[in-house]
């Protein structure tokens, strides 16, 4: 019955957990599916847009710091004022900065001589009439001390380059020139690719004319906003300095597009999301959660099963055996004795009941301590076990009292066994060494009659044991 109850409890708990897990997973799936579009539109996409904007800002923080460091370096300022004829010094300086911070390019332009230097040496003398030098004169005339400029430079690369320009001033705040660093657009391309893999968003940068300035390679084949079949209708919204959210359909799929103007770059950032991608994610999450919850339920069920099984064993053991002496306890002995009394009435066999109490056990506890008293109890339980048969019943009755049922044992045989037990306790060297004197016990013995009940039988053998106590201890009293 106990085993069946254990399995029944585990089955009920497992069933309830599975129903709960599946119900929660289905409810979450339905809610997530219904809210996917509104969450993407109102929360995920705007938040991701801000995160992408932040990541873009972070990607240019170090180059900004390097440019600021160069512009405020007293060496650079002194060189521009006093030592520009010695170009080797500034070339070595630019080369050192480039190598130290792993930049694509470092540069410096002297306003006094209009000479353009990089880590490779003198490049050219800039001129207002040269359209390729327009960036410098535009930068010189703005109020800001620094700027980001996307441009081509035939001396550095045939590809678009991001320049971070910083103004150089002397101690009297007179303009001396410009310096800064250059980054390859491939560096930005890797950043855009990370957004697609991480967030499943397509990120694109447009200039004020609608031309695509930055986009991930091999993903966007368009060159300007007019080449988009649908987006060209939203050109004014995309190229607005106010953030906008645009919903549209293309090739049977729904898309959401968020826009943001980046003043530092003077570019318009768009983040495009395909709703199907996020619906698929919801489905994947549902199946993952369902599988995970069932797996966890299975693990919990196993844990509960083994926990119940383990505790059941412990409870069964504690309810059956005495925890100190490891022999049966009083409750178990009474159950087994009642069964033997019923069998005795049918089989008419002899049963001898022995009750014993350790003499002066209180003195042992008081003088030697309760720990040694426990050792004495365990040793006496061992002696009793070793000197009776496996078919006999033995138990610790309580405190220093023990009880034994000698099955199929006549009165004479029972007396012999009692005497053997009494002498074994009295002559045990381990007990003598432990207490420094011979430990003894007083015994009571009676035989089970066909008219006996468990109650009067126990009362009779208890009186026999107390008679031994009263008549001098360490003896056996037989009561018929």
pLDDT digit string (tens) for 242-266?
988 888 888 888 888 889 888 766 7
User: String of b and e for 347-376 (b: at least 16 CB within 10 Å)?
Assistant: eeebbbbbbbbbbbbeebbeeeeeeebebb
Same domain, 252 and 338: no
Residue 162 lies in a domain: no
Structure tokens at 411: 């009165």
pLDDT at 4 over 70: no
Same domain, 361 and 244: no
The pLDDT assigned to 50 comes to: 76
Residue pLDDT, tens place only, 305-323: 777 777 777 777 777 888 8
The pLDDT assigned to 252 comes to: 85
The pLDDT assigned to 60 comes to: 67
Calculate what percentage of the chain has a pLDDT beyond 70. 90
Given the structure tokens 């004169």, which residue do they identify?
137
Structure tokens at 456: 């009067």
pLDDT at 155 over 70: no
**Of 277, 312, 344, which closes a domain?**
277
Given the structure tokens 């070595």, which residue do they identify?
92
Same domain, 439 and 362: yes
Report the helix count and the strand count for the chain, using DSSP H and E: 15, 16
SS3 362: helix
Neighbours of 280 (CB within 10 A): 13
Residue 422 lies in a domain: yes
**Of 277, 298, 319, which closes a domain?**
277
Q: HEC states along 47-88?
A: HHHHHHHHHHHHHCHHHHHHHHHHHCCHHHHHHHHHCCCCHH
The pLDDT assigned to 70 comes to: 95
Enter the pTM of the model: 0.45
Can you give the CATH number for the domain in which 254 is found? 3.30.450.20
Same domain, 343 and 443: yes
Residue 228 lies in a domain: yes
Asked whether the beta carbons of 426 and 459 are under 8 A apart, the reply is no
Same domain, 365 and 460: yes
Q: What is the DSSP string of 254-313?
A: EEEEEEEEETTTTEEEEEEEEHHHHHHHHHHHHHHHHHHHHHHHHHHHHHHHHHHHHHHH
Q: What is the DSSP string of 414-439?
A: HHHHHHHHHHHHHT-HHHHHHHSS--
Residue 421 lies in a domain: yes
Residue 439 lies in a domain: yes
Given the structure tokens 């008419």, which residue do they identify?
348
Q: How confident is the model at residue 1 (pLDDT cuts 50, 70, 90)?
A: very low
Rounded to an integer, the average pLDDT of 396-419 is: 94
The pLDDT assigned to 2 comes to: 46
Residue pLDDT, tens place only, 331-368: 999 999 988 988 887 888 899 999 999 999 999 999 99
Rounded to an integer, the average pLDDT of 322-333 is: 91
Rounded to an integer, the average pLDDT of 167-181 is: 93
Q: How confident is the model at residue 281 (pLDDT cuts 50, 70, 90)?
A: low
Same domain, 469 and 339: yes
- Which of 154-158, 280-284, 440-444 shows the lowest mean pLDDT across its residues? 154-158
Same domain, 345 and 266: no
The pLDDT assigned to 452 comes to: 85
- Residue range(s) defining the domain that contains residue 261: 187-277
Same domain, 462 and 391: yes
Rounded distance between C-alpha atoms, residue 271 and residue 273, angstroms: 7
- Which of 161-165, 190-194, 347-351 shows the lowest mean pLDDT across its residues? 190-194
Q: Which residues, 6 or more positions from 454, have their beta carbon under 8 angstroms from its beta carbon?
A: 334, 337, 338, 341
Residue pLDDT, tens place only, 25-75: 778 767 766 776 676 667 667 777 777 777 776 666 688 889 999 999 999
* 66: exposed, middle or buried (Cβ count in 10 Å: 0-12, 13-18, 19+): buried
The pLDDT assigned to 58 comes to: 67
Residue 150 lies in a domain: no
Structure tokens at 414: 């029972």
Please name every residue paired with 80 in a beta bridge, in sequence order, or none if there are none.
none
Supply φ then ψ for residue 283, to 5 degrees.
-65, -40
Q: Which residues, 6 or more positions from 11, have their beta carbon under 8 angstroms from its beta carbon?
A: none
Same domain, 461 and 397: yes
Can you give the CATH number for the domain in which 365 is found? 3.30.70.270
Same domain, 338 and 259: no
Q: Which residues, 6 or more positions from 365, have their beta carbon under 8 angstroms from its beta carbon?
A: 373
Asked whether the beta carbons of 365 and 428 are under 8 A apart, the reply is no
Residue 315 lies in a domain: no
Neighbours of 81 (CB within 10 A): 13
Q: Based on the structure, what is the number of domains in the chain?
A: 2
Structure tokens at 474: 């360490």
Q: How confident is the model at residue 329 (pLDDT cuts 50, 70, 90)?
A: very high
Q: Mean pLDDT of all residues in the chain?
A: 85
Residue 406 lies in a domain: yes
Neighbours of 133 (CB within 10 A): 17
- Alpha-carbon dihedral angle through residues 113, 117, 123, 126, given to the nearest 10 degrees: -40
**Of 238, 260, 277, which closes a domain?**
277
Same domain, 429 and 342: yes
Q: How confident is the model at residue 387 (pLDDT cuts 50, 70, 90)?
A: very high
Rounded distance between C-alpha atoms, residue 79 and residue 400, angstroms: 103
Same domain, 461 and 334: yes
């Amino acid at each position: 019955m106990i085993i069946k109850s254990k399995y029944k409890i585990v089955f009920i708990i497992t069933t309830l957990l599975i129903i709960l897990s599946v119900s929660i997973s289905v409810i979450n799936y339905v809610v997530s599916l219904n809210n996917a579009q509104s969450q993407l539109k109102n929360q995920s996409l705007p938040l991701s847009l801000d995160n992408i904007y932040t990541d873009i800002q972070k990607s240019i923080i170090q180059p900004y710091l390097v440019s600021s460091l160069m512009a405020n370096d007293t060496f650079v300022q002194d060189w521009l004022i006093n030592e520009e004829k010695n170009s080797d010094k500034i070339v070595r300086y630019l080369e050192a900065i480039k190598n130290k911070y792993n930049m694509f390019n470092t540069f410096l332009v002297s306003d006094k001589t209009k000479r353009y230097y990089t880590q490779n040496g003198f490049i050219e003398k800039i001129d207002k009439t040269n359209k390729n030098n327009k960036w410098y004169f535009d930068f010189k005339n703005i109020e800001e001390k620094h700027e980001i400029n996307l441009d081509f430079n035939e001396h550095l690369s045939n590809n678009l380059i991001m320049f971070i320009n910083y103004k150089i001033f002397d101690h009297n705040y007179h303009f001396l020139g410009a310096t800064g660093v250059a980054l390859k657009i491939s560096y930005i391309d890797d950043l855009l690719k990370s957004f697609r893999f991480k967030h499943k968003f397509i990120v694109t940068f447009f200039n004020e004319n609608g031309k695509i300035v930055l986009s991930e390679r091999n993903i966007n084949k368009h060159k300007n906003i007019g080449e988009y079949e649908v987006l060209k209708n939203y050109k004014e919204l995309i190229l607005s300095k106010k953030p906008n959210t645009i919903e549209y359909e293309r090739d049977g799929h729904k898309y959401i597009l968020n826009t943001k103007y980046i003043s530092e770059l003077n570019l318009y950032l768009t983040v495009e999301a395909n709703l199907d991608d996020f619906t698929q994610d919801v489905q994947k999450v549902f199946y993952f959660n369902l599988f995970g919850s069932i797996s966890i339920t299975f693990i919990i069920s196993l844990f509960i099963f083994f926990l119940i099984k383990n505790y059941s064993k412990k409870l069964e053991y504690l309810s059956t055996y005495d925890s100190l002496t490891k022999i049966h306890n009083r409750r178990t002995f009474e159950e087994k004795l009642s069964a033997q009394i019923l069998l005795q009435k049918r089989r008419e066999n002899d049963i001898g009941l022995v009750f014993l109490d350790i003499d002066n056990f209180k003195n042992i506890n008081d003088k030697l301590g309760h720990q040694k008293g426990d050792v004495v109890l365990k040793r006496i339980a061992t002696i009793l076990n070793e000197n009776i048969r496996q078919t006999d019943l033995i138990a610790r009755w309580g405190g220093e009292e023990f009880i034994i049922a000698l099955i199929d044992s006549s009165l004479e045989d029972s007396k012999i066994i009692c005497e053997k037990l009494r002498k074994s306790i009295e002559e045990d060297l381990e007990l003598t060494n432990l207490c420094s004197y011979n430990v003894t016990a007083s015994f009571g013995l009676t035989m089970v009659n066909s008219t006996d009940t468990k109650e009067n039988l126990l009362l009779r053998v208890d009186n026999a044991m107390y008679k031994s106590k009263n008549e001098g201890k360490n003896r056996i009293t037989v009561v018929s």
